[in-house]
Amino acid sequence: MDVYWDSMSNAPQLPAGFPAVVAWSSAGVRLLDQTRLPADEIYLDINNVADLEAAILRLSVRGAPAIGCAAAFGVVLIAREVPESLSGEALKKELDRRCDHLIEVRPTAVNLKWAVDRCRAVAHSQFAKNVSRTTLLLALESEAHAILEEDRRMCSAMGAHGATLLQQLLKGKKSATLMTHCNAGALATGGMGTALSVMYASQQAGLTLHVFADETRPLLQGARLTSWELARAGIDVTVICDNMAASVLRDRHPDMVVVGADRIAANGDTANKIGTYGLAILAKHHGVPFYVAAPYSTFDLTLKSGAEIPIEERKRSEISDQNGRLAVPDNAKVFNPAFDVTPAELIAGFITERGVLKPPFA
């Protein structure tokens, strides 16, 4: 595909020293354990795909692009683990079965499927050449590194386009108030984030920012992660409970709401963290432009509309168990969808690595 963002000079970057969310060594995948933030900065060294799947499921690595990057290295682990005794069709079938299992761990974030399928295609082409296991592993490692590097560059390009857009919206003002939901930052990608890359690039372009971060119930990605990384980058951030968004939109009138995405259908309907849909309705009501920042790996043009996006449901205890205390009685049911779908008509535009897409999206 076209990689014109390669040529971007002075592309915005994360400040040096930001921890690597996903990294690879010959021992396996190293993940920053996001379940431990903001209290502890701890890394997990993972050398088998079952542990990687468990880490993805419990959100040690999370955010659609970062899950994709981790899963790409997961295919290397799969290729290491398929029994040496298998060859030909049997080998291909076993690798495919394990790849499908990895994809199913988090069904909404399409970047997971996108990355695994991309690595699987590399494996298939190596099988067709009847290469040795070592050659197969090297080809898969190299593809996974390419995915990580491509994600990093796409984040910088999204940041640059988003900063230009924000400057246009500000009409000469040098400071901005923004609002976001969940964490679509460096912690969620291989680079400087999607939605938060707009903030980092705007700051680097000389704007003074104040960001309202929704806490993001039930797992608090906004409170724990967005505030952690924005504060670390020197951006003024205020955490609010999700149910404060309406009054903050009315009383503080942010210049823009910007969020990430887990899957975008062909008509522009967008799945993102539960609560995004409500925020988009509130933004529309208060006349605040609502933007989604996402790379091409998050667009799923095989789906006509958001109605076809599979929504991950998570376990009861994420809601019923609050720090070891029972928050919901055992005889009450709990509904815990991890994502919702924002209809395209509520979205002012998509900030992508290729520029800003404005409606009509279809």
Question: Is 192 an interacting residue with respect to ligand MRU (CB under 6 A)?
Answer: no
SS (H, E, C) 4-43: HHHHCCCCCCCCCCCCCCEEEECCEEEEECCCCCCCCCCE
Please state, as a whole number, how many other Cβ atoms lie within 10 Å of the Cβ of residue 86.
13
Does position 177 bind ligand MRU by CB under 6 A? no
* Interface with ligand MRU in residues 127-166 (CB under 6 A): none
For ligand MRU, the binding residue among 12, 28, 63, 306 (CB under 6 A) is 63
CA distances 317 to 58, 109, 127, 312, 361, Å, are 12, 22, 43, 15, 38
Which residue from 280, 151, 177, 273 is spatially nearest to 221, judged by alpha carbons?
273
Q: Whole-angstrom Cα distance, residue 342 to residue 264?
A: 10
Min separation Cβ 237 and ligand MRU, Å = 16
Give catalytic status of residue 51 as yes or no. Answer: no
User: Pick from 22, 64, 147, 279: which binds ligand MRU (CB under 6 A)?
Assistant: 64
Contact 131, 144 (CB under 8 A): no
**Given the rule CB under 6 A, which of 6-14, 78-86, 200-208, 260-268 is the region that contacts ligand MRU?**
260-268
Site mask for ligand MRU (CB under 6 A), range 86-115, x = bound: -----------------------x------
Select from 71, 110, 154, 182 the one that contacts ligand MRU (CB under 6 A): 182
Under the binding rule (CB under 6 A), the answer on residue 218 touching ligand MRU is no
Q: Is the dihedral of CA 219, 224, 229, 230 positive or negative?
A: positive
Coil, helix or strand at residue 359: coil
Write the interaction track for ligand MRU spanning residues 290-319; mark x where CB under 6 A is met and - where it is not. Answer: ------------------------------
Nearer to ligand MRU, 82 or 350 (CB): 350
Distances (CA, A) of 326 to 50, 194, 243, 321, 323: 30, 35, 22, 5, 8
Position 55 contacts ligand MRU (CB under 6 A):
no
Which one of residues 60, 126, 270, 272 is an interface residue with ligand MRU (CB under 6 A)?
Answer: 272
Residue with tokens 């921890």: 19
Instruction: Name the catalytic one among 242, 262, 269, 300.
Output: 262
Active site residues: 262
Residues that bind ligand MRU (CB under 6 A): 59, 62-65, 109, 182, 184, 188-189, 194, 221, 259-262, 272-273, 338
